Structure 1
Amino acid sequence: MSVTSFDNATFRRVLGHYPTGVCVVTAVEADGAPIGMVVGSFTSVSLDPPLVAFFPAKSSSSWPRLQAVGKFCVNVLASDQQPLCRQIAGPGPDKFAGVTHRVSANGSPILDNVVAWIDCTLDAVHEAGDHYIALGRVVALEVERPDRPLLFFQGSYGEFSLIQ
């Protein structure tokens, strides 16, 4: 264990000054039930091979279910999809009640009206402190609506505005 000169609250406060996009990672379990989790820690990793990553918490109840499926779709939320974000992030067994989507060629839910989606197979999982690094190999991707993405910044949701 390393010794630091700051506490967890300071770490979160400082890193909260860096905005992140908001995505919903989705999959379908063997029984046909859709599952999903909200992530704000998604990034591109490699062009060759095409890899992306997100960082689920070890305490997540959704992550083990997603990992067991072995494939997933990253849905980049639009700025007007905050209610959808809160629904998927909330507790409860039926996070997809009333959520419209179609199924990708890889078998994962693509949520309606997202900015973009990235369909993946799970390539590798690595431990990283109290999180995992989940690497996905991209098999398909598309921009659905070139709109403003939903952002998370300093504990609140917002949107991006271009400077002309």
Structure 2
Amino acid sequence: MTHLASASAMTQGSVPTHETVDPTLFRGALGLFATGVTIVTAAHPTNGLIGITANSFNSVSLDPPLVLFSVANTARSLAAFLEAPGFVVNVLRQDQKILSGRFARQGEDKWAGVPYTPGRLGAPILPDTMAAFDCVHYAQYEGGDHLIIVGRVVGMEHNVEGDPLLFYRGRYRALGDEIA
């Protein structure tokens, strides 16, 4: 089934004054874009370790090396991420689904029994991930109901063995067969 959603009527060069895109259809359409899954971590000077599951990770620039992720403006960890000296984006492997779920929930001690190595600015680097990008804050941008946080990569590690954890249509997924 195809769903059509359109913004307000526009003429060339004009900007709509109001949106008519149905939020439920919009979310469903966005869910058709498969993404990797990350845990973004930081070490706050007084609040300690923080971490969230995010699939809003993206590369921005090779020179300088920049990456981004976004956090909901209502997230309890937003202020701590902004006050921490930096952050690490940990790209998860397929077998780290339980860890992803743990850092997606609120209210529990996410760090109980979770091993890590401190990055250059103290943000946790999780073991056995596909990649870890150790970042200092570079810029931030308002993005509707989220804040886009851009980091300059100051260190990284990666291991090409294994397969990444993917998220598609509201569920965790695995890579399929390679297309020739």
Match for 2:24 among 2, 5, 9?
9
Q: Deviations over 1:78-110 (max 9, x none)?
A: 111111011111112511111111112232100
Percent of matched pairs sharing the same residue: 40
Amino acid at match of 2:83: A
Runs of 4+ in 1 over 2 A off after TM superposition: 1-6
For the residue of structure 2 that corresponds to 1:55, the secondary structure is strand
Q: What count of residue pairs does the alignment treat as equivalent?
A: 164
Query: Which structure 2 residues correspond to residues 1-164 of structure 1 after superposition, within 5 A?
Result: 2-31=17-46, 33-144=48-159, 146-163=161-178
Structure with the greater alpha carbon radius of gyration: 2
Distance 2:45 2:165 in 1: 30
Whether the 8 Å CA contact 1:150–1:157 is kept in 2: the answer is yes
Unaligned runs of 5+ in 2: 1-15
Whether the 8 Å CA contact 2:42–2:86 is kept in 1: the answer is yes
Q: Normalization by structure 1: what TM-score?
A: 0.93
Q: Which moved more, 1:101-110 or 1:134-143?
A: 101-110
Distance 2:116 2:159 in 1: 12
Distance 1:31 1:4 in 2: 41
Q: Normalization by structure 2: what TM-score?
A: 0.85
For the residue of structure 1 that corresponds to 2:82, the secondary structure is helix
- Matched with 2:13 is none
Q: Which moved more, 1:29-38 or 1:108-117?
A: 29-38
Higher relative contact order (CA 8 A, sep 6+): 1
Report the RMSD for the aligned CA atoms in angstroms. 1.6
